Amino acid sequence: MFARLGRLVTTRPWRVIAVWVIAVALIVPFSPSLAEVSNADQASFLPDDKESVQAQQLAERAFPTASGATAMFVVKRADGGELTPADQAKVGALAQDLMAARIPRVAGVVTGPEQVAPNRGVQLLQVVFQGTANDQPVKDAVPQLRGRAAGVLEGSGLRAGLTGEAAIWLDTEESFGTAESVTLLATLVLIIVLVGAIFRSPVAALLPIATIGLVFTLATALVALAADTVGFEVDQSLTSLLTVVLFGIGTDYILFLLFRYRERLRAGDPSRQAVAFSVRRVGEAVASSALVVIFAFLAMLLADLGFLQAMAPGLAISVAVMLAASLTLIPAVMTLVGPRLFWPSRRWQRAPDGALFKRLGRLIAHRPGRMALASGGLLVALAAGSVAYSASYDITLPSGSESTVAYEDLKSGFGAGALNPTDVVVSDPDGIDQAKLATLTRQLEAVDGVAAVARPVPSQDGTVARIGVTLDDKPESSRAMAAVDGPIRDLARASDAGTQVLVGGGTSANVDLRDTVNRDMAVVFPVAALLIALVLGLLLRSVVAPAYLLAAVALGFGATLGAGVVIFQGLAGEPGLLFMLPIVLYLFVVAIGTDYNILVTSRLREEVGDGNDPRTAADLAVENAGPTIAAAGVILAGTFASLSLTGVGLLVQMGATVAIGVLLVSIVMAIVFVPSVSALLGRRIWWPGHRATTTAAEGEPAPPARIEEPV
């Protein structure tokens, strides 16, 4: 199959390129942008049967005029002093001015003595909007409010910062927009520098940029078009992830082809034949690698958490497009450019001494047990750190934004939970019993961890009441979640204040998020592992090899999570790693990291098929595939590491930890651990298809001879 595909592409390269250009011209102009089909509200991705979702829906039906988005001005003195009566009067005048400004979608601005902190350090102005936080008119109103407030308070010695739902939504959206630009720029620079350094050629450095840039444009258009047509949601972080995924794995696939192409040119093959040979030999490994990634991403469709469901189709579609390009578009460009890919360097014409990988290959061949123990021991030591893993749900506030600064000011005067109170919603179609409602309110006030309980607010028809509960701790903290999941929900379930008593709000949503993630990990992990095992089994024609490769990658996952715990929970002193990070690590490190295991194992099988004994095969596989895997791993790790430059907490942790994982599975595992174990197990790893049969098709060029040089 891949031999025929290689011949087809190399004999008609212009037609192949034309098909891709036409596809872009026909699809991209008529598809929406990813931003138009994106959603950043994590809570909205919870299943409808979760208590927090049901509470929110009940409150929206009962209080339609109060169900719009909210924001909150936090006003304080610039010198940090206490607010004087004159200052408080100025804040009241600000509220009146903001209402008089008639800013579109601003339904109300309210303040009063009860909005002054007990320590008189800050005063709050509650802003209510008509519409949800992701409505564009609501987002447009936020900067108008901020600008108006700054003008009114100029010269007064007061400063106001806007935080809350609507403000956070806008700041998050802007942060992700900045993150996309930073990630793209850092990724492009990294690829140009590293690929250019590897091949000493600006042409080779620009090949990934040009081809993957075309693929990225087409893939994002297809994802947006599919989301708009089918109706699935797209998470707001997808664009940044697509940048690193497509440019990362796309560059990997290009490197696989370029290294094998250069190898055949050195062996004396004509350029066109060398490209066709590269597609034949590397195509199977690339296709298998891409299918592993696609199936692992598709396993996320089984998740209940919408964040994972929203990523799955977009990532799968994009990787499928990248796979098609790797086997058609990129070889077609290579055919047209030919050896000029390596211009102006002439060093590609002779094999480098490769002393590092030659020595490493020989060391593995002579001491496979020791090398397996050393590399495996490192992974086990790092994996031990995963025992201390703690989940964090602090994903709401963009670092350094006005909403973040204002929230910190708010906490200095009120409880940390004041920004996002917990709602206890009581419903009874026959009418709320006020005595029982008062009893429930008093019980909530006595709960440990509750800072304040607001007076119950009844609905217009008297069948629903809402009690606002302010917690002592941040809504996303473990203490706040324990209070909601324990005594507050217990009181709600035991209360006879209504036929239905539900607990909603941000902390309740985080509790439901935690339970949903735990369920998803129990489902997605084994399904993804089974799909990956099937692909590996078909590729390697073996039962043993896929089993030990999966075990090795699982160890790599544990080591990656442990390294993340050490860095973020240990060195950085953060309370935990973001709650979705383990499942994201599993899918990215296991799926994408399996690329390198597939490449080295395919080369091991190839060397055994050429008649080499298992230890010699391990030696040759490390010598020949090691440079490719090391280069690809460093570039892919660098592209993920670029996410750390964004300043968005979710992307910083994800980028840094996945980068570490990629380096571990590419260098420690694929180059050292897997060849070492393969040398130890010998031909048994290929059972039941373990016979040493030649892999060369009739008329296929012989593999290049190994150049023996003194060590």
Band of pLDDT at residue 708, cut at 50, 70 and 90: very low
pLDDT value, residue 84:
92
Please tell me the distance from the alpha carbon of residue 689 to that of residue 701, in angstroms, as a whole number. 24
Please tell me the distance from the alpha carbon of residue 334 to that of residue 269, in angstroms, as a whole number. 14
Please tell me the distance from the alpha carbon of residue 360 to that of residue 477, in angstroms, as a whole number. 48
Query: Mean pLDDT lowest for which of 66-80, 156-170, 231-245, 427-441?
Result: 231-245
Q: Per-residue pLDDT for 144 more than 90?
A: yes
> Any residues with CB less than 8 A from the CB of 639 and at least 6 apart, and which?
187, 190, 191, 243, 244, 247, 248, 251
Tell me how far apart the terminal alpha carbons of the chain are, to the nearest angstrom. 40
Query: Mean pLDDT lowest for which of 2-16, 457-471, 480-494, 637-651?
Result: 637-651
Beta bridge partner(s), residue 126: 72, 110
- Residue 28 C-beta-side C-alpha neighbours within 13 Å: 14
Give the containing element (helix H, strand E) for 425: strand 422-427
Q: Per-residue pLDDT for 118 more than 80?
A: yes
Higher pLDDT, 321 or 649: 321
- Sign (positive or negative) of CA dihedral 491, 493, 499, 501: positive
Structural contact between residues 76 and 159, judged by C-beta atoms closer than 8 angstroms: yes
Average pLDDT for residues 183-199, to the nearest whole number?
A: 83
Task: Classify residue 521 by burial, with Cβ atoms within 10 Å: 0-12, 13-18, 19+.
Answer: middle
For every residue of 254-311, DSSP letters joined together read: HHHHHHHHHHHHHTT--HHHHHHHHHHHHHHHHHHHHHHHHHHHHGGGG-SSHHHHHH
Q: Per-residue pLDDT for 563 more than 90?
A: yes
The pTM assigned to this predicted structure is 0.77
Average pLDDT for residues 263-284, to the nearest whole number?
A: 88
Q: Per-residue pLDDT for 696 more than 50?
A: no
Ordered by where they begin, the domains of the chain are: 1-30+200-352 (1.20.1640.10), 69-170 (3.30.70.1430), 356-407+515-696 (1.20.1640.10), 408-511 (3.30.70.100)
Which residue from 219, 214, 283, 292 is spatially nearest to 253, judged by alpha carbons? 283
Token reading at 567: 């860095």
Q: Per-residue pLDDT for 396 more than 70?
A: no
Structural contact between residues 280 and 286, judged by C-beta atoms closer than 8 angstroms: no
pLDDT value, residue 397:
58
Band of pLDDT at residue 237, cut at 50, 70 and 90: low
pLDDT value, residue 700:
47
Average pLDDT for residues 451-471, to the nearest whole number?
A: 90
Share of the chain above pLDDT 70, in %: 90
pLDDT value, residue 42:
46
Average pLDDT for residues 664-678, to the nearest whole number?
A: 91
pLDDT value, residue 148:
93
Angle at 191 between CA 185 and CA 197, to 5 degrees: 135
Please tell me the distance from the alpha carbon of residue 675 to that of residue 625, in angstroms, as a whole number. 11
- Helix-helix angle 238-266:271-298, to 10 degrees: 150
Give the containing element (helix H, strand E) for 464: strand 464-471
Higher pLDDT, 658 or 237: 658
Structural contact between residues 594 and 532, judged by C-beta atoms closer than 8 angstroms: yes
Which residue from 527, 590, 603, 524 is spatially nearest to 558, judged by alpha carbons? 590
pLDDT value, residue 350:
67
Which residue from 214, 291, 204 is spatially nearest to 247, judged by alpha carbons? 214
Q: Per-residue pLDDT for 698 more than 70?
A: no
Whole-number CA gyration radius for the chain? 29
Q: Give the pLDDT confidence of 433-446 residue by residue, as tens digits.
A: 999 999 999 999 99
Please tell me the distance from the alpha carbon of residue 217 to that of residue 556, in angstroms, as a whole number. 32
Band of pLDDT at residue 704, cut at 50, 70 and 90: very low
pLDDT value, residue 668:
92
pLDDT value, residue 614:
87
Average pLDDT for residues 402-421, to the nearest whole number?
A: 80
pLDDT value, residue 65:
62
| Average pLDDT score over the chain | 84
- Helix-helix angle 674-681:614-641, to 10 degrees: 160
Please tell me the distance from the alpha carbon of residue 169 to that of residue 1, in angstroms, as a whole number. 50
Residue 681, number of CB atoms within 10 A of its CB: 17
Band of pLDDT at residue 38, cut at 50, 70 and 90: low
Query: Mean pLDDT lowest for which of 10-19, 92-101, 612-621, 646-655?
Result: 646-655
Higher pLDDT, 414 or 678: 678
Which residue from 504, 519, 435 is spatially nearest to 469, judged by alpha carbons? 504
- Distance of alpha carbon 222 from the chain centroid: 20
Q: Per-residue pLDDT for 353 more than 70?
A: no
Query: Mean pLDDT lowest for which of 308-317, 342-351, 538-547?
Result: 342-351
Q: Give the pLDDT confidence of 508-551 residue by residue, as tens digits.
A: 988 998 899 889 889 988 888 888 888 888 877 778 888 888 88
Asked if residue 331 has a cis previous peptide bond (ω within 30° of 0), the answer is: no
* Inter-CA distances, 654 with 245, 298, 392, 552, 581, Å: 13, 20, 13, 21, 7
- Say whether 235 sits in a helix, a strand or coil: strand
Please tell me the distance from the alpha carbon of residue 478 to that of residue 511, in angstroms, as a whole number. 9
Structural contact between residues 587 and 608, judged by C-beta atoms closer than 8 angstroms: no
With tokens 């002592």, the residue in question is: 472
Sheet holding 158-163, edge to edge: 106-110, 123-129, 70-77, 158-163
pLDDT value, residue 467:
92
Token reading at 454: 């607001």
- Helix-helix angle 136-153:165-199, to 10 degrees: 100
Structural contact between residues 589 and 665, judged by C-beta atoms closer than 8 angstroms: yes
